[in-house]
Amino acid sequence: MARIKIKEILKGELIDQTVTVKGWVRTFRNNSFIAVNDGSCIHNIQAVVNFETADPETLKRLTPGACIGITGKLIKSLGKGQTVEIVVSDIEIYGDAEADVSKPNSYPLQPKAHSLEYLREIAHLRFRTNVFGAVFRVRHTLAYAVHKFFNDKGFLYLHTPIITSSDAEGAGEMFRVTTLDPKAPPLTENNEVDFKQDFFGKATNLTVSGQLEGELGAMAFSDVYTFGPTFRAENSNTTRHLAEFWMIEPEMAFFDLKDNMALAEEMLKYVITYALENNKDDIEFLSQRLLDEEKNKPQADRSELSLLEKLNFCLGNEFAKITYTEAINILRESNHNKKKKFQYIIDGWGADLQSEHERYLVEKHFKKPVILTDYPKDIKSFYMRMNEDGKTVAAMDILFPGIGEIIGGSQREERLEKLEARMKDMHIPTEEMSWYLDTRRFGSCPHAGFGLGFERLVLFVTGMTNIRDVIAFPRTPNNCEF
């Protein structure tokens, strides 16, 4: 009999028909009620066995985690909490899962609440929980929505390389890629490692961003985007940083900073709306989970909005748009600053904003997403377009409630002399980057782009608080399990 996914069955259109479902046992209660989940949706299907006629050996094997196939008639459910259920006529067991925790290799996901920390240790099994089922279905939908958004606008999906020999952000936080013998690498006359003898004949690393290659694409296809893994060897052990994360980087010819901001806001709202429409049950489940968690917190620490309200609020409001200089003034004048409640006190112009400042602007001052523009040139990357004032660049960061920076982008410096001068100032090798400068030599044009940290978007939409819980197998300092 052809198997039907639980999501389909729960639509209730197959009443009185014989159906087969396949999935993993969540619970088996009163020797009668099996709850099975196949990952197609947050809901389980309930199947009722007649324990008087069923094979007792089979019933014993219906333990949490076991993989089974069930065939039976679909009827309207008499019980609460489900619309339909299956009256079991046949059970096939594909794989057992040891339930006795005193035995070695027993199934670690018993039907009770497990902490997210514990589930992180068994990340290879956590997909089988309600929370992670919901998170990863939402993640999938968001990825699909990103592709749909850009495809519908006529963007070309460009696959940029993962191994590169350049540092796109000029920040030097890269993972080296090499096949040289770490114990005895070949040396140059100056006793430095001789990367000429390495696999690629030069020093290479994992990419921190596909932007520079994206810019090359935009100079031919007008509108391109990348969506791929990026790597940062920064030693940041926070709830917002991964060493390996996914980034979406659109790059548009003939766009200035304003166009760039408008596209970013439109895209964020589009993908959030798409997830709300297509993963309603998952997001409702996650929202309810947070409400339940909030109940255990002291009143003062409770968040004002539920997850669903937060998402809808973000969709219903235009993002605030202010310059870095305006932001510094707001922060400097804030009571928070005067009462020295920031760890880093704001007293002058030019310093980079810490996440406490970003969150103050978004969560306390504007209470909605904020786009900050025109940062001091010294705290931004070499490729950003110099403004008339000679002090600031046409940069934009989008800050989200509970997240901080979700997008970083800019209009690019399209003027060859200015870009070269800037690169020299910042000790970025212009000869090695000659291919990049060619975009400015041959048919240069005003252009702009941005990078969206995909996991930060998933954090926002799922209401999860630790970035390790929205990527399947997180890579962070001292952690590369699975």
| Positions in the binding site for ligand 4AD (CB under 6 A) | 168-169, 209, 211, 232, 241-242, 245, 247, 249, 405-410, 449-451, 453, 455-456
CB of 257 to ligand 4AD, least distance (A): 12
CB of 197 to ligand 4AD, least distance (A): 31
Nearer to Mg ion, 145 or 372 (CB): 372
With contacts defined by CB under 5 A, name the span among 27-35, 221-229, 366-374, 401-409 that binds Mg ion: 401-409
Residue 206 interacts, among Mg ion, ligand 4AD, none and using kind-specific CB cut-offs from 5 to 8 Å, with none
* H or E element at residue 244: strand 244-253
Contact 155, 223 (CB under 8 A): yes
Nearer to ligand 4AD, 19 or 248 (CB): 248
CB of 166 to ligand 4AD, least distance (A): 12
Residue 449 interacts, among ligand 4AD, Mg ion, none and using kind-specific CB cut-offs from 5 to 8 Å, with ligand 4AD
Nearer to ligand 4AD, 65 or 453 (CB): 453
Nearer to Mg ion, 36 or 168 (CB): 168
CB of 2 to ligand 4AD, least distance (A): 42
Contacts of 186 (CB under 8 A, 6+ apart): 180, 193, 194, 197
CB of 451 to Mg ion, least distance (A): 7
**Measured over all CA atoms, what is the biggest interatomic distance in the chain, rounded to whole angstroms?**
85
The footprint of Mg ion on residues 29-88 (CB under 5 A) is none
Contact 479, 449 (CB under 8 A): no
Q: Which among 469, 475, 412 has a CA at the least distance from the CA of 119?
A: 469
* H or E element at residue 91: strand 84-95
Q: In this structure, what token pair is assigned to residue 385?
A: 């377009």
Residue 359 interacts, among Mg ion, ligand 4AD, none and using kind-specific CB cut-offs from 5 to 8 Å, with none
Contact 261, 373 (CB under 8 A): yes
Instruction: Write the burial class of residue 214 (CB in 10 Å: 0-12 exposed, 13-18 middle, 19+ buried).
Output: buried
Rounded CA-CA distance 396/402 in Å is: 19
Nearer to Mg ion, 28 or 450 (CB): 450
Nearer to ligand 4AD, 414 or 455 (CB): 455
With contacts defined by CB under 5 A, name the span among 126-134, 140-148, 408-416, 421-429 that binds Mg ion: 408-416
With contacts defined by CB under 5 A, name the span among 159-167, 225-233, 341-349, 407-415 that binds Mg ion: 407-415
* Contact call for residue 404 and Mg ion (CB under 5 A): no
* Contact call for residue 408 and Mg ion (CB under 5 A): yes
Nearer to ligand 4AD, 24 or 270 (CB): 270
Nearer to ligand 4AD, 149 or 450 (CB): 450
Identity at 371, one-letter amino acid code: I
With contacts defined by CB under 5 A, name the span among 65-73, 78-86, 220-228, 402-410 that binds Mg ion: 402-410
* Contact call for residue 453 and Mg ion (CB under 5 A): no
Rounded CA-CA distance 406/408 in Å is: 7
CB of 248 to ligand 4AD, least distance (A): 9
Residue 242 interacts, among Mg ion, ligand 4AD, none and using kind-specific CB cut-offs from 5 to 8 Å, with ligand 4AD
- Give, in order, the Cα–Cα distances in Å from 417 to each of 188, 300, 356: 34, 55, 37
Residue 241 interacts, among ligand 4AD, Mg ion, none and using kind-specific CB cut-offs from 5 to 8 Å, with ligand 4AD
Nearer to Mg ion, 149 or 450 (CB): 450
CB of 168 to ligand 4AD, least distance (A): 6
Rounded CA-CA distance 313/272 in Å is: 11
CB of 398 to ligand 4AD, least distance (A): 8
Residue 373 interacts, among Mg ion, ligand 4AD, none and using kind-specific CB cut-offs from 5 to 8 Å, with none
Give the count of beta carbons closer than 10 Å to the beta carbon of residue 112: 6
Residue 228 interacts, among Mg ion, ligand 4AD, none and using kind-specific CB cut-offs from 5 to 8 Å, with none
Nearer to ligand 4AD, 290 or 407 (CB): 407
Contact 13, 28 (CB under 8 A): no
CB of 450 to ligand 4AD, least distance (A): 5
Contacts of 376 (CB under 8 A, 6+ apart): 324, 349, 350, 391, 392, 393
Rounded CA-CA distance 105/98 in Å is: 7
With contacts defined by CB under 5 A, name the span among 78-86, 125-133, 157-165, 406-414 that binds Mg ion: 406-414
Q: What are phi and psi of 53, to 5 degrees?
A: -100, -20
- To which residue do tokens 């900050």 refer? 372
Instruction: Write the burial class of residue 13 (CB in 10 Å: 0-12 exposed, 13-18 middle, 19+ buried).
Output: exposed
Question: Strand pairing of 404-411 and 447-453?
Answer: antiparallel
Q: In this structure, what token pair is assigned to residue 241?
A: 């940083």
Question: Strand pairing of 67-76 and 84-95?
Answer: antiparallel
3-state secondary structure of 159: coil
Residues that bind Mg ion (CB under 5 A): 408
